[in-house]
Structure 1
Amino acid sequence: MQPLSHIHRNKFPTPFFGLALVLLVSLASPTSSCTEQQKSSLLQLLAGLSREGGLTASWRSDMDCCSWEGITCSPNMTVTDVSLASRGLEGPISPFLGNLTGLLRLNLSGNLLSGGLPLELVSSSSIIVLDVSFNRLTGGLHELPSSTPARPLQVLNISSNLFTGRFPTMTWEVMKSLVVLNASTNSFTGQIPTTPCVSAPSFAVLELSFNQFSGNIPQGLINCTVMKLLSAGYNNLSGTLPKELFNVTSLEHLSLPNNHLEGPLNGITKLTNLVILDLGGNEISGKIPDSIGELTRLEELHLDHNNMSGELPSGLSNCIDLTTIDLKRNYFSGKLSNVNFSNLSNLKKIDLLYNHFTGDIPESIYSCSKLTALRLSYNHFHGQLSEKIGNLKSLSFLSLVNNSLTNITRTLQILSDSRSLTTLFIGFNFLHETMPEGDSIDGFVNLQVLSINDCSLSGKISDWLSKIPNLGMLLLHNNELTGPIPDWVSSLNFLFYLDISNNSLTGEIPSALMEMPMLVSEATAPMVFELPVYNKSPFIQYLMPGAFPKVLNLGTNNLTGLIPEKIDQLKALISLNLSSNKLSGEIPRLISTLTNLQVLDLSSNHLTGTIPSALNNLHFLSRFNICNNDLEGAIPTVGQLSTFPSSSFDGNPKLCGPVVGNHCGLPEASPVSIASAKQFGNLVIFFIAFGVFFGIGVLYDQIVLARYFC
């Protein structure tokens, strides 16, 4: 029998002990590190930066560069990844990064890097992903000669920089593996490149939007047989959509908005794999083909801002995956009932703003239970709103402006039950009806924006409005409302935009209005609109309520009394309009403390006194109007107020100054100077009389005194 110790010694074969010994030795020995050449190349990048985003603490020359922040190495200690996105780096990109012969991925996006893009990176024999997007890189892209060996680059993202010049054409001949090319949001010129379609068999994504590309859409795109995304919106492309493009049946995303494309959409339905079609902002004409129903994968349809017409085809009902229909600002007509919206259960947004649709709002729309935004404004719909709109439990944005809707009380009662509704525009309807009073309306628990303007509504500013707890914007202008401005307006803690102008409101401006929390505070509303909201004058697109200026517009009413002294509490106010009322008294000097003001209109009142010189402290003031009052004194000739035209001061005959062409005479003087001036007249007579007797000596004294008193 063998000793126990001998049995244990021979239990495992000899090779096992050899492997174990190797592992132990490898663990015990110092870890390999990156080469000095790799470390030097990386430190060259760091040395050239004016701001290094805290990398110095990690990128130490006495440490292995494989352990540096943002650096990844392979098992054999070759640097494969440099990932320094959004680090606040400033300065040029070092061409020495091209010496990293094992580098596969370089991500420097979201910094403040400047200068050009080194040719050494574009022509690298190892890099497969190069992302320098969202920087400040300038200049053009270098052309690589066709004799250059094939490069392995698969993804090139140079978007959102300051690149200029003609876009390369030959470079792409050597990019045999290219899959994604994103050069959007630069200033490239020339034509859309088609070279990758031939040289790179896997080329799938071409993103060139927001540049200055011109010419027609090239027919050569037909060679992009696996292309899934073509995006070249916001350029200067022209001509028609080439029929060859419709043979690229692999396309899933076709986005060419805001160019100068024209002609009909014939052939578009061959692209049966389309998920997103965006041709908005062009000059596309004709009808939507009924065969659009063949695009069964279509999710987003954007044909807004074109010259399209005709009725909507019933075939649209077959696009059952649609989530967005955007046809605003066209010439579509007829009844919406041609489309069976009951089939479109995935719809979230419908925007038909500015068209010529007629008839009733089809009740099939109310079966789209996922709908979050519905805009039917500026059409020719009529009748009363159906109670079935209450089925839209997710509806957040509703705009029905300028149709021929009736019965405002019932409309508000129906909509007030919606717990999801945050934005409601129903102006230019309900003509000459009466604003609902008292407790007839109850609800709107999450409503933030309410516009009932231009309806010629009579009645008062009703108390039910005070019970909308989250109201931030209230627009009741251009109606026939009477009575005083209620004090409860200041209890709306989130109200920052109040426009009740052009009504027949009476009484004084309530002092409670000077305590509106959102006009005292710099806070803004965090909500985002489901659809963009447009302001005609000036034409601006708003994506969220908080982007609107903070406004108090009480103009064109019958308000009396003084401008409240406590108006200086509204520190966040951007626009103040009290024009065309019957306000009296002086312009409060403390308005000058509202340093955020950009608009101040006090015209057409009965204001008296002088223009407070402290108003020159309103350095952001761009619109100023105090015409048609009874103001007096000098108009400031320096400072902010001196930059406004005479029309800002007209109708105040007692005002003087170069702006109105009415000279003020002697400058305003102190009481002591005025008294001295009176004495001066007597002294002049005295000295002239004595001049006969005292000759030149007395005349000399007169000149000295005259100089003193002037």
Structure 2
Amino acid sequence: MAFADVLVPLMLLSLVSPSCSCTEQEEGSLLQFLAGLSRDNGLTALWHNDTDCCEWEGITCSSDGAIIEVSLASRGLEGHVSPSLGGLSNLQSLNLSCNSFSGDLPSELLASRSIIVVDVSFNRLSQVLQPQDCNSSVSDYRPLQVLNISSNLFTGEFPSVAWEKMSNLVVLNASNNNFQGLMPSSFCISSSLLAVLDLTYNQFSGNMPGSLGKCSALRVLKAGHNNLTGQLPDELFNASSLEYLSFPNNGLDGVLDDARITNLRNLSKLHLGGNMLIGKLPDTIGQLTRLEELLMSDNNMSGELPSALSNCTNLVTIDLKGNRFTGELTKVNFSNLINLRTLDVLYNKFTGTIPESIYSCSNLNALRLSGNSLHGQLSPRIVDLKSLSFLSISSNKFTNITNMLRILQNSSSITTLLIGGHNFNGEAMPGDDIIAGFQNLQVLSISGCSLSGKIPFWLSKLKSLKMLFLQKNQLSGPIPAWIKNLELLFYLDISNNRLTGEVPLALMEMPMLKSEKATTDVDPSAFERTVYIARGLQYRKLNAVPKLLNLGNNKLTSVIPKEIGQLKSLNVLNFSMNSLSGEMPLQLCSLTNLQVLDLSSNHLTGEIPLELNKLNFLAEFNVSNNDLKGPIPTGGQFDTFPDSSYERNPKLCRVTVDQLCGSAEPSAVSVLSTEQIDRRVAFWIGFGAFFGVGILHDQLVLSKFRGIMDTMGFNIVL
């Protein structure tokens, strides 16, 4: 149930234009509020003293001139929330959300005898909440029904006792703060009306209070992304009105009670992913016939899926990834799940073949079966899934890649296709006269299959392609010039193959890598499911993925083209572990958006261009194991790179106080041992972390997934 679903009925359904002016006292209260702003963003100019305050921006009055609503959301206001607003004796709704208010939330607002709705979400409020007159009689009237303090900076323990006076509270959203201590347990002592409680994204710890089971009207209970431990209390299942139960990413353990879960027959959303639950998915889950979302990912659950799951005919999402489920998926009759849009069983231990009943799920958008032990060939019936946009079946034991691509080429709705990772081991890449179609495909991964042959020409016809992963195969021959004709391609990883020849000039003509104005926005359907790149790191949207060109670990020869300077929007460049020779071209200094540059393990000579220290975004740099000479650049980002970035270049030297380059005995960079060479893996894992920070959001942020990053760059295969 959305917050607005509760908020709207509580607002006045009709507001009559005032026939009377607001009182001098109420106008004074508004002006005191205005005086407390350090930035009014033009509000002062709109609130004229010579104008009735009922006509002021954001102010609504009743027919007798009393102020009943103050609505100043998203106005760019800064400063403190004045207690004077509590003096508006008829105020019923206060909305100051999406501003930059700081300090405390005045107790006068919480203790008001008139206010029904307070929304101060998305501000910078930080003081501990404490309703006024905490020692007064519990019977004191507090009409407040909706309180949204989410996305602020509140900290400390939640003052539970003081909130017992909120006998009319229906909705409390305190999510995305920094509350600590035990999870509050007293909400239902006085307020039997509490319907929505959201404490997501805080620092609550300890066990979940069983007293929440006494909240007879509770419909939404959310406390994900905290530090809660222990088992789900038996009493919780007494809250039979629950429709939304969400506790992802905590430390909850134990099993789902087979008997008591049937009390929650109104449940439509069950989110318990990212915990430590064990045991089977109970057979009684089939009695939750209203269930729409079943999210149990990242636990330690095991056993076979109950056939009774087929009875949950309203299911829209099934997410069981990252567990230890076994057996065959055919035990579930998916043809009953006509509303199913997402099925995700990534990283389990399922065996057998893909159930034919899945192809009856006509509304299926995303199907991820990767990381299991499924085998066989793909059924032609998959083309019946007319809405399927995301298909990931990597890291299984499927065979016959040619047949699979022939079938899938007719699925025009597919935008993301991830089929590599141990499938088709040692087969040949399908030839040019076999595959067509895929006109809407944006992301294609056929990596890690040891496929032989050349990079096929049929890929040149995928005009919508934006990301191509062919790494960790045995592809040979030159890199084809037609790659430049893929005008939307911004991510190309063909590392760890047997490609030969020169670095083609055609790569320097890739439109998406040349233009700094070109964005990596992708149709949202391309990422119907989060794509994992490393342990705990994931991409939900392609506009967060760097522009990458990875040719590492092949058999490329000749020099690095000077035309490389044309790729001005490139973020990651990896030419490592080839046989490139000649000098590092000065044009590398033009790649002002570069964040990772790896030219290690080649035959490069000459000096490192000193101008590279102007690449202000460069976070990782590696030219080890070449034949470079002269001074190592200093200043800028070069003051942060470790010695391992330059090792096995005995003619390189650092400019130091004690030893200058060019002196009789230059100070050579130390030589690495074999063990240290192996640690180049950490270079790329570190890069993954660099890009992972800051781009992962809301309840999809997980931390316990297996890493699937290739040692030479991103390896999005699942």
Q: State the TM-score, normalizing by the size of structure 1.
A: 0.88
- In structure 2, the CA distance between the partners of 1:364 and 1:659, relative to structure 1 (3 Å rule), is farther
The alignment partner of 2:604 has SS state of strand
8 A Cα contact 1:342 1:365, kept in partner: yes
Deviation, 1:146, is 4.4
Deviation, 1:327, is 0.4
1:64 and 2:64 matched? no
Alignment-derived partner of residue 430 in structure 1: 424
Alignment-derived partner of residue 190 in structure 2: 199
Alignment-derived partner of residue 44 in structure 1: 32
Alignment-derived partner of residue 471 in structure 2: 477
Q: What is the distance in 2 between the residues matched to 1:430 and 1:562? A: 35
Alignment-derived partner of residue 215 in structure 1: 206
Alignment-derived partner of residue 488 in structure 2: 494
Equivalent residue in structure 2 for 1:132, among 94, 97, 120: 120
The alignment partner of 1:96 has SS state of helix
8 A Cα contact 1:146 1:170, kept in partner: no
1:313 and 2:311 matched? no
* AA in 2 matched with 1:510: P
Deviation, 1:43, is 1.6
Residues 634-691 of structure 1 deviation map (CA, whole Å, 9 limit, x = unaligned) = 11243322321111111111111269998624499xxxxxxxxxxxxxxxxxxxxxxx
Alignment-derived partner of residue 226 in structure 2: 235
Alignment-derived partner of residue 526 in structure 1: 522
Alignment-derived partner of residue 638 in structure 1: 635
Alignment-derived partner of residue 354 in structure 1: 347
* AA in 2 matched with 1:438: D
The alignment partner of 2:513 has SS state of helix
Residues 460-487 of structure 1 deviation map (CA, whole Å, 9 limit, x = unaligned) = 1111101011100000000011111111
Q: What is the distance in 2 between the residues matched to 1:193 and 1:628? A: 59
1:344 and 2:337 matched? yes
Does 349-358 or 517-526 show the bigger shift? 517-526
Q: What is the distance in 1 between the residues matched to 2:131 and 2:87? A: 20
Equivalent residue in structure 2 for 1:187, among 161, 178, 182: 178
Equivalent residue in structure 1 for 2:297, among 300, 304, 310: 304
Deviation, 1:436, is 1.0
Residues 133-171 of structure 1 deviation map (CA, whole Å, 9 limit, x = unaligned) = 011111211154141522100000000000001101122
Alignment-derived partner of residue 565 in structure 2: 568
The alignment partner of 2:580 has SS state of strand
Alignment-derived partner of residue 163 in structure 1: 154
Q: What is the distance in 1 between the residues matched to 2:197 and 2:572? A: 44
8 A Cα contact 1:159 1:185, kept in partner: yes
Alignment-derived partner of residue 702 in structure 1: none
The alignment partner of 2:558 has SS state of strand
Q: What is the distance in 2 between the residues matched to 1:639 and 1:53? A: 38
Does 659-668 or 592-601 show the bigger shift? 659-668
1:603 and 2:591 matched? no
Alignment-derived partner of residue 679 in structure 2: none
Alignment-derived partner of residue 324 in structure 2: 331
Q: What is the distance in 1 between the residues matched to 2:262 and 2:221? A: 16
Root-mean-square deviation (CA), in Å? 1.7
Deviation, 1:57, is 2.9
Residues 207-262 of structure 1 deviation map (CA, whole Å, 9 limit, x = unaligned) = 10111111111121122011101101111111111111111111100001111111
Q: What is the distance in 2 between the residues matched to 1:252 and 1:552? A: 47
8 A Cα contact 1:81 1:106, kept in partner: yes
Deviation, 1:439, is 2.9
1:387 and 2:380 matched? yes
Question: Larger RCO: Structure 1 or Structure 2 (Cα < 8 Å, ≥ 6 residues apart)?
Answer: 2
Alignment-derived partner of residue 4 in structure 2: none
Q: What is the distance in 2 between the residues matched to 1:213 and 1:644? A: 39
The alignment partner of 2:628 has SS state of strand
Q: What is the distance in 2 between the residues matched to 1:416 and 1:298? A: 34
Q: What is the distance in 2 between the residues matched to 1:403 and 1:504? A: 24
Q: What is the distance in 1 between the residues matched to 2:420 and 2:403? A: 15
* AA in 2 matched with 1:262: D
Alignment-derived partner of residue 243 in structure 2: 252
8 A Cα contact 2:550 2:575, kept in partner: yes
8 A Cα contact 2:316 2:340, kept in partner: yes
Does 345-354 or 434-443 show the bigger shift? 434-443
8 A Cα contact 2:584 2:606, kept in partner: yes
8 A Cα contact 1:476 1:499, kept in partner: yes
* AA in 2 matched with 1:312: L
Alignment-derived partner of residue 278 in structure 1: 271
1:587 and 2:621 matched? no
Alignment-derived partner of residue 73 in structure 2: 85
Q: What is the distance in 2 between the residues matched to 1:133 and 1:188? A: 15
Q: What is the distance in 1 between the residues matched to 2:261 and 2:664? A: 75
Alignment-derived partner of residue 506 in structure 2: 512
Q: What is the distance in 1 between the residues matched to 2:657 and 2:430? A: 48
Residues 262-320 of structure 1 deviation map (CA, whole Å, 9 limit, x = unaligned) = 10101223211100000100011000111111000000001100010000000100000
Does 627-636 or 469-478 show the bigger shift? 627-636
Deviation, 1:596, is 1.3
Q: What is the distance in 2 between the residues matched to 1:554 and 1:289? A: 49
8 A Cα contact 2:19 2:63, kept in partner: no
* AA in 1 matched with 2:621: F
Equivalent residue in structure 2 for 1:463, among 457, 465, 474: 457
- In structure 2, the CA distance between the partners of 1:639 and 1:196, relative to structure 1 (3 Å rule), is closer
* AA in 1 matched with 2:136: S
Residues 519-556 of structure 1 deviation map (CA, whole Å, 9 limit, x = unaligned) = 1223122322111111116x421111221111000111
The alignment partner of 1:562 has SS state of coil
Q: What is the distance in 2 between the residues matched to 1:142 and 1:655? A: 64
Equivalent residue in structure 2 for 1:448, among 430, 442, 445: 442
Q: What is the distance in 2 between the residues matched to 1:667 and 1:94? A: 73
8 A Cα contact 1:173 1:195, kept in partner: yes
Larger Rg: 1
Equivalent residue in structure 2 for 1:262, among 253, 256, 261: 253
Gaps in structure 1 of 5+ consecutive residues:
1-29, 669-710
Deviating 4+ runs (over 3 angstroms): 658-663, 665-668
Residues 344-375 of structure 1 deviation map (CA, whole Å, 9 limit, x = unaligned) = 01000000000000000111011000000000
Gaps in structure 2 of 5+ consecutive residues:
1-17, 666-718
Deviation, 1:584, is 1.2
- In structure 2, the CA distance between the partners of 1:501 and 1:202, relative to structure 1 (3 Å rule), is same
Alignment-derived partner of residue 154 in structure 1: 145
* AA in 1 matched with 2:521: A
Q: What is the distance in 2 between the residues matched to 1:651 and 1:401? A: 38
Deviation, 1:502, is 0.7
8 A Cα contact 1:146 1:173, kept in partner: no
Does 366-375 or 168-177 show the bigger shift? 168-177
8 A Cα contact 2:111 2:131, kept in partner: no
The alignment partner of 2:245 has SS state of strand
Alignment-derived partner of residue 20 in structure 1: none
Residues 146-199 of structure 1 deviation map (CA, whole Å, 9 limit, x = unaligned) = 415221000000000000011011222211111001100001112222322120
